[in-house]
Structure 1
Amino acid sequence: MKFRRSATALAATTTVVAAGTAVVLGAAVPSVAATPSPSAPVALPDGLYGTADPTYDGVWRQSLALLAQDTVGVTPADKAVEWLAGQQCADGAFAPFRADAAKSCDAKLLTDTNSTAAAVQALAALGGYDAVTDKAVAWLKSVQNEDGGWGYSPGGASDTNSTSVVVGALTAVGEQPGKVRKDDRSPYDALVKLALPCKGDGAGAFAYQPDKKGGLAANADATAAGVVGALGKGLVVKGGKQAAATCADAGYPTPQQAAANGASYLAGALTEDGYLKSVLPGAEDQPDYGNTADAVVALAAQGGAARAEKPLRWLERNSASWAKQSGPAAYAQLVFAAHATGTDPRDFGGTDLVAQLNATGPAPRTEQVLENTDTAEQKDTAEKKDDGDTGYGTWWTVGVFLVAGIGIGFLISGRRKQQP
């Protein structure tokens, strides 16, 4: 969402070469500022999910992976959680990746709101990391903009995606986003200012940021993020009660009305094909899997699971290859879409998203229980225990967890939104 957060505007099957690095497009990664490609390959930490260069998305994809596992009742490996917590800088912020966490963060290390807010959501859900999340939230509050929102980088202009993922972090730790204010403006004020009116092109959508002249252009990815953020929710949501998604201008809209307007825009954009399309200038007319998954979450959050059925079914039929190519964050997005709509992520169009996600990182603790059990009777007991934890039925065999998705990984694609 992403977000966040959430999704990219690029298609999964397209590859480009940037700064000498092959990039797989379509994976969910946060917006990133232009930074030079690393001069040498980065050694992959033992606890990290995914096999691609983590320089620009390590914390993001780790956070989404751990959050998705927690959402379906899987207990991540301790070393995976410790790696994420250990990425925090002394001031509370997170950067996309720190190769040497023992080295103090300095001015050359670019920390950002998206990585920090995603880490907060994951660690808050897992529990036991209050000191880490409290410090991270304090840092996020310290870099809040005067309009109430957040940009990707501290001091950068507020954008819908960054503001929304921070709203999710605040909610995750029990804060009321509407009460987190700068110059008497809250995150909701910032989001409403980025919402388009119900007349003209992009009616009801959210823009990523205003253009240089202050105008707003509809952005589907930002809209999915904005709907969830305006509702005060995070990356993981449950389908809301059935609610209208008609666009209605009523002066200065409430956050709830802005969310309904955004949902109306998304529903219209998905009517014809059931998926969102790439918005990268010059790109072919092709599906954007990550943004479509985010739209499912947004529609379900605002108006219930039935509202998201068409794009959900499209994802069930078409997303397996994209997720396999794109890696842990993509699997996490699909898990979030399944969760929001009450769909079984262990049978998502015939794909076990949980097994595939688990296989991209260190074996979860629940998996290790089965692996280290000696007798058939003990294994049966462990499996039954896991069934109670997950709520989705019998676990697949350990072999599936260990071999599925070997070699899966992706190299980052930027989520910096293109302005007209």
Structure 2
Amino acid sequence: MRKFKKGCVVVLALALSMSFMTGCGDKSDDKKGDTQKEATASDVAEDVAANEESIDEYVEKYAENVELGDYKGIEYTKTDVEVTDDEVQQKIDEFVDGLGTFDKDTTNAAKKGDTVNIDYVGSVDGEEFNGGNTNGSGYDLVLGSGAFIDNFEDQIIGHKPGETFTVTATFPENYGETSLAGKEAEFKTTLNYIKIDKPATYNDKLVSDNTDYKTTKEYEESVREELNKSKEDSALASAQSDIMTKVINNCKISNLSAEEVQASAQQLVTSIKSQAENYGMDYATYIKYYYGYDDEDAFAQVIYNICEESLKEKMVMCAIAKAEGLTVTDQETDEYIADYAAKNNVDEESVRSNVSAIDIKYNALAYKVMNDVLYKDAKAVDATTAAATEATTAEDTDTEADTEADTEAAE
């Protein structure tokens, strides 16, 4: 039985649909259902009319309670996008490793360090439990890796392929599936074979047989280009996030709608629960396995905080759009959705069917505000300069606080 990895919180903002370019809301118009047709700019306009809210009215509503601070000339930390030879080699190694084959050792006894293929059926108090059966599909396990609970792997050592035996192991007290936590389990285990890896040979033939390139040189150039593009995209996202955070901090926001934040948070929780069901897992196990949280209330608070920041972002973006006299056309909205779908490898229709028409227009407008105003006028600084600036700002803040405290004491 595999251990549950305790990972850090995956960037939950991604689950909010489209990060800073989106709202939290799912589309709730009457285009859902089996008769749903493909959404276009005309659908957007139709929905807006039905909702009796134009993008300008939407902007006005969210901008109303924002007092803008500085939003031009914002400094952000420049990210290095240079691709190293080691990074290229790592990708090549992954490519070659993925094409390796193996022989099956069916005679020798398994030892620590071997990769074995096993099947097992787990039970507690004689009752088989969910997720404890490989159903004959086989599972590769490196003996000594610590991937399975307790001393499960140690009990395979010494057995030969073809043998069936019982492994007894105890689930940890903090196991993600609470019904199994601390319980002793028996696993009827069959050792199918020991894997003997046969690495692939990296050459022109391997490349031409498995890629669109004819030589290792062409393939390596493509890997470098891909890595460079990935780093540039990551650097842009980091810069925009840095800028947005600073712009929000420079603003004064009042009357933040707790009801809207709560509705968005609940919607996201519902979505994550659906994902858990799709994986055949209960919600508590799912959030522990994928997000590293074993407390549902703490996880709910994290989601609430994310939705709260998302709403602040929307209010500020709308305030800047209003101040700059920016709006967005149907054509720009369609272009935005097409670009987003292509970059994220999703279907345009699925995006339109999951985000309300007016929010789609806002998304396109926010994208425009970021690229045509905030990022365009921002200033890139290296990490050393940024650290010095932050230290100076922190020192000034402390000085101001000390001055205020001295004044209050004098009074």
Work out whether the TM-score is over 0.5.
Answer: no
Q: Which has the higher helix share?
A: 2
Which structure has the higher relative contact order (CA within 8 Å, separation 6+)?
A: 2
Bin for the TM-score computed over the shorter chain: under 0.3
What TM-score do the two structures reach when normalised by structure 2?
0.22
Length-normalised TM-score, structure 1: 0.22
Bigger Rg, which one: 2
